Structure formats: C-alpha cells, structure tokens
Amino acid sequence: MRFLSTLLIITIITQTAIAADPVPKDQIILFNGRTFNGQIIKETDLTIQLQTNTRILEFKKRKVATIIYADGTVKRLQDERLLDEAMEDMTPAQNLAYIGTILLLIGILSIL
C-alpha cells in the first residue's frame, strides 16, 4: 500500500511539473508528421536549430513543413520547398526554357 501511495505522489508531482512549464515553445512540424517542441536558437536559409529540454536538434529546412513560433506566428515552408525541389530537378537548359516561357507569357498577356 505504501508503494502505491508513493507512486501516486510521484505521478502527481511529475504531471504538475510538466503542466506548469511557463515557457512558451516553438514548434517544428516535419513533412513526415513528426513534431518537435523547444526554442529555436538559430535559423539559416538551409537549417533550423532547436533547443529541447535535453539536447539541440538541427533540421534541414527542406524537411520542415511548418514552424509555429512561441508568439503564435505560423510559417509554412511547404510552398518554398516545392518550388525549390522543382527547380533543383531541372537541368540549366530546362530552367532557361522555363523562365523563357514565363517571360513569353508575360509579354503576351501585357499585349492583350
């Protein structure tokens, strides 16, 4: 009986400590659905570093779908990623043809 009482007290203290965490957290959501919480300590064009309770994690931005900052700001990286991937998969000649086509369409639309 004493063991169960001790276990109950430890559980209550642990749950209270977890629920009482007053520090707002940044949240990183990957394309595979995994979510990580902590404080973003560094963000570059290619990577994000997140300080969690136990360690520093580094994510490649191309793997990140969404960042939710502690202040509630939401940044969706999905659209940037899709465009970057599409451009990376093209050869330089294809990139040039793609840009040329866009410029041609802009020219045609400006005449109309």
Per-residue confidence in pLDDT tens, the chain, 112 aa: 555 555 445 555 555 545 445 567 999 998 888 999 999 999 988 899 999 999 999 999 888 889 999 998 998 886 555 555 656 666 777 767 777 777 777 777 777 6
Q: Which CATH number is 22-76's, of 2.30.30.100, 2.60.120.1440, 1.20.120.1200, 2.60.40.10?
A: 2.30.30.100
Sorted by where each begins, the domain ranges of the chain are 22-76, 78-112
pTM: 0.53
47-51 vs 35-43, strand pairing mode: antiparallel
Taking a C-beta distance cutoff of 8 angstroms, is the pair 38, 51 a contact? yes
